[in-house]
């Protein structure tokens, strides 16, 4: 068969070039491998129809909103994790208009736990752009889609391919791995030079116009097929090459380099950072609690009123029913780690924590007080308890009951964060002096904690603490 003859020539060329220090991928593009590129698309499409994934909640639709939402959620996140979030998100925000009209805080609440929170902020901004600038309709091509917040070339191409049948290549993480192995691309797959090379391969591998005319769903099948191959066959470890439709002329398979490609990035030591998280709690009379949370909106936004409960548009006097446990939450700045989410007050243990914590953040906006001057050297010699007591003094917290809790580590993309939680119990919550109009600080009843969007590790910590 002609296909087999080309494959043999391919193997010979590969082994002859293995000894060369220059990458052989560029040469292969102009050799018989290029003749196989049309077959590559056909094989991927045929394989996807028979063996690919067909029952994911964002499949079997040409709705750009659902496709876009799934593509954003799937960035840096596994399918199994995304499914539940996607379904809940769609239930609350069924279309782009409902998402655009929602508050960012509510969007972050429904995103909480999914990580990479800049995606949620871009998602919200993108929805507003689509409604305001595109009349609620997503642009019908990849070039225009890339003008929207948070949509890069590969995401734009996926939306355009799935929803509009545009002949445009994708290059997400799974597809990079497939192409690195199939074409034998060496080098760091995140480097600019290698990425440009992979885009060239992706463009050449795109189904021909004739194929898309013959099979109207060819682009959607091909795009989904590449994603499926990377997720189910061409996996990072122990790829199932025997099930792959491209194994007969895959460079990595033919040269026994599936474990070497893509080449891993040179790993640098991940920085270690530390912080103290303060679980500040108290018992507060119901009469003083009032409605510390807007139940109707479910956004974690205070009404700013004390002694009254808001039900719809009516205000009802709060009735004293004893006391309830409350926990102090502090909203993080919009930019940075966990931006815009509710978390716990923090103070520093060692090192420069400006990127992740608010060192000795003063909760009070009524009094102008000088923050404790704590240098890096002095921090290292102080105990956590003394640091917390200084923090309490700066925030006018009198005679707190302190209790150290089990420390744990949370890993971000670029650093490890060691978290030491401390319980700070206050006899009288009214002793903590902060401006009630400050929307970034809130006493929250334990039965309303679930209504506030918190990072996954903070939410787990707070919820477990609330049950004590």
Tens of pLDDT, residue by residue over 10-68, are: 433 443 433 333 344 444 444 444 455 768 999 999 999 999 999 999 999 999 999 99
Nearest Cα residue to 185 out of 230, 136, 125, 250: 250
pLDDT of residue 99 exceeding 80: yes
* CB of 230 closer than 8 Å to CB of 174: yes
Dihedral pair phi/psi, residue 346, rounded to 5°: -135, 155
Question: What is the chain's length?
Answer: 468
pLDDT of residue 381 exceeding 80: no
Task: For the chain, give the mean pLDDT.
Answer: 81
- Average pLDDT of 192-202? 96
pLDDT of residue 155 exceeding 60: yes
Q: Given CA atoms 159, 162, 166, 167 in this order, what sign does their dihedral have?
A: positive
Q: Which residues of 228-263 are buried (b: 16+ CB within 10 A; e: fewer)?
A: bbbbbbbeeeebeeeebbbbbbbbbbbbebbeebbe
DSSP 34: H
Q: Strand 342-343 vs strand 323-331: parallel, antiparallel, or unpaired? A: antiparallel
Least confident of 20-24, 93-97, 142-146: 20-24
Instruction: Give the C-alpha separation, 117 to 454, whole Å.
Output: 11
Q: Catalytic positions, please?
A: 71
Q: Which residue would you say has higher pLDDT here, 35 or 205?
A: 205
Instruction: Give the C-alpha separation, 123 to 254, whole Å.
Output: 42
Instruction: Give the C-alpha separation, 301 to 62, whole Å.
Output: 36
pLDDT of residue 413 exceeding 60: yes
Q: For position 36, what pLDDT does the model report? A: 59
pLDDT of residue 318 exceeding 60: no
pLDDT of residue 307 exceeding 70: no
- Average pLDDT of 232-237? 96
Percent of the chain with pLDDT over 70: 76
- Average pLDDT of 238-254? 96
pLDDT of residue 430 exceeding 80: no
Least confident of 99-108, 170-179, 308-317: 308-317
Q: For position 60, what pLDDT does the model report? A: 93
Q: Which residue would you say has higher pLDDT here, 345 or 373?
A: 345
- Which structure tokens are listed for 341? 């989410």
Instruction: Give the C-alpha separation, 444 to 436, whole Å.
Output: 13
pLDDT of residue 305 exceeding 80: no
* CB of 340 closer than 8 Å to CB of 329: no
pLDDT of residue 195 exceeding 60: yes
Q: For position 286, what pLDDT does the model report? A: 67
Instruction: Give the C-alpha separation, 163 to 362, whole Å.
Output: 50
* CB of 412 closer than 8 Å to CB of 455: no
**Domains in the chain, CATH or no CATH each:** 2-254 (1.10.340.30), 272-466 (3.90.79.10)
pLDDT level of residue 336 (50, 70, 90 thresholds): confident
Q: For position 289, what pLDDT does the model report? A: 56
Nearest Cα residue to 74 out of 97, 56, 49, 101: 56
pLDDT of residue 301 exceeding 60: no
pLDDT of residue 291 exceeding 60: no
Q: Which residue would you say has higher pLDDT here, 316 or 121?
A: 121
End-to-end CA distance of the chain: 72
Instruction: Give the C-alpha separation, 141 to 225, whole Å.
Output: 20
Instruction: Give the C-alpha separation, 214 to 208, whole Å.
Output: 10
pLDDT of residue 442 exceeding 60: yes
Give CA torsion, residues 257, 263, 264, 265, to 10 deg: 170
pLDDT level of residue 109 (50, 70, 90 thresholds): very high
All residues at 6 or more sequence positions from 344 whose CB lies less than 8 Å from its CB, including other chains: 277, 278, 279, 280, 328, 329, 330, 421, 458, 461, 462
pLDDT level of residue 124 (50, 70, 90 thresholds): very high
Q: For position 95, what pLDDT does the model report? A: 98
Q: For position 171, what pLDDT does the model report? A: 97
Tell me if residue 360 falls in helix, strand or coil.
coil
Q: Which residue would you say has higher pLDDT here, 77 or 284?
A: 77
pLDDT of residue 207 exceeding 50: yes
- Which structure tokens are listed for 176? 């990079």
- Average pLDDT of 414-426? 93
* CB of 444 closer than 8 Å to CB of 327: yes
Q: Which residue would you say has higher pLDDT here, 226 or 293?
A: 226
Q: For position 382, what pLDDT does the model report? A: 52
Planar angle of CA 153, 154, 160, nearest 5 degrees: 90
- Which structure tokens are listed for 123? 């998602």
Instruction: Give the C-alpha separation, 405 to 341, whole Å.
Output: 23
Q: Which residues of 435-456 are buried (b: 16+ CB within 10 A; e: fewer)?
A: eeebeebbbbbbebbebbbbbe
Dihedral pair phi/psi, residue 327, rounded to 5°: -125, 140
Does the pTM surpass 0.85? The reply is: no
DSSP 66: H
């Amino acid at each position: 068969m002609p296909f087999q003859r080309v494959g043999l020539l391919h193997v010979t060329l590969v082994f002859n070039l293995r000894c060369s220090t220059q990458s052989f991928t560029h040469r292969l593009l102009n050799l018989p491998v290029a003749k196989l590129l049309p077959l590559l698309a056909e094989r991927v499409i045929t394989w996807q129809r028979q063996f690919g994934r067909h029952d994911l909640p964002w499949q079997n639709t040409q709705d750009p909103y659902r496709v876009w939402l799934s593509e954003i959620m799937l960035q840096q996140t596994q399918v199994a994790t995304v499914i539940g979030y996607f379904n809940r998100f769609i239930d609350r925000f069924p279309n782009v208009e409902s998402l655009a009209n929602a508050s960012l805080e509510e969007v972050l609440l429904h995103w909480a736990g999914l990580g990479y929170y800049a995606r949620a902020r871009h998602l919200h901004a993108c929805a507003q752009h689509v409604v305001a600038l595109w009349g609620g309709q997503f642009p019908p091509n990849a070039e225009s889609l890339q003008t929207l917040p948070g949509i890069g070339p590969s995401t734009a191409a996926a939306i355009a391919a799935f929803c509009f049948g545009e002949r445009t290549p994708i290059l997400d993480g799974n597809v990079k791995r497939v192409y690195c192995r199939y074409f034998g691309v060496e080098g760091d797959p995140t480097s600019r030079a290698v990425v440009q090379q992979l885009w060239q391969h992706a463009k050449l591998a795109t189904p021909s116009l004739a194929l898309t005319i013959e099979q109207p769903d060819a682009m959607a099948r091909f795009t989904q097929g590449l994603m499926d191959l990377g997720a189910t066959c061409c996996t990072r470890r122990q790829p199932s090459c025997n099930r792959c439709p491209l194994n007969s002329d895959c460079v990595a398979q033919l040269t026994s380099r599936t474990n070497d490609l893509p080449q891993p990035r040179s790993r640098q030591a991940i920085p270690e950072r530390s912080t103290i998280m303060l679980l500040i709690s108290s018992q507060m009379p119901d009469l003083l609690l009032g409605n510390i949370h807007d139940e109707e909106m479910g956004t974690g936004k205070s009404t700013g009123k004390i002694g009254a409960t808001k039900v719809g548009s009516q205000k009802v006097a709060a009735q004293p029913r004893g006391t309830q446990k409350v926990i102090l939450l502090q909203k993080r700045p919009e930019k940075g780690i966990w931006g815009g989410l509710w978390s716990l007050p923090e103070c520093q243990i060692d090192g420069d924590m400006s990127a992740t914590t608010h060192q000795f953040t003063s909760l009070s906006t009524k009094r102008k007080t000088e923050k404790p001057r704590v240098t890096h050297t002095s921090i290292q010699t102080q105990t956590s308890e003394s640091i917390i007591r200084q923090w309490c003094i700066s925030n006018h917290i009198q005679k707190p009951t302190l209790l150290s809790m089990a420390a744990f580590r949370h890993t971000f993309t670029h650093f490890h964060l060691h978290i030491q939680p401390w319980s700070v119990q206050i006899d009288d919550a009214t002793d903590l002096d902060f401006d009630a109009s400050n929307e970034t600080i809130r006493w929250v009843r334990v039965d309303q904690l679930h209504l506030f969007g918190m990072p996954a590790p903070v939410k787990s910590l707070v919820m477990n603490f609330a049950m004590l």
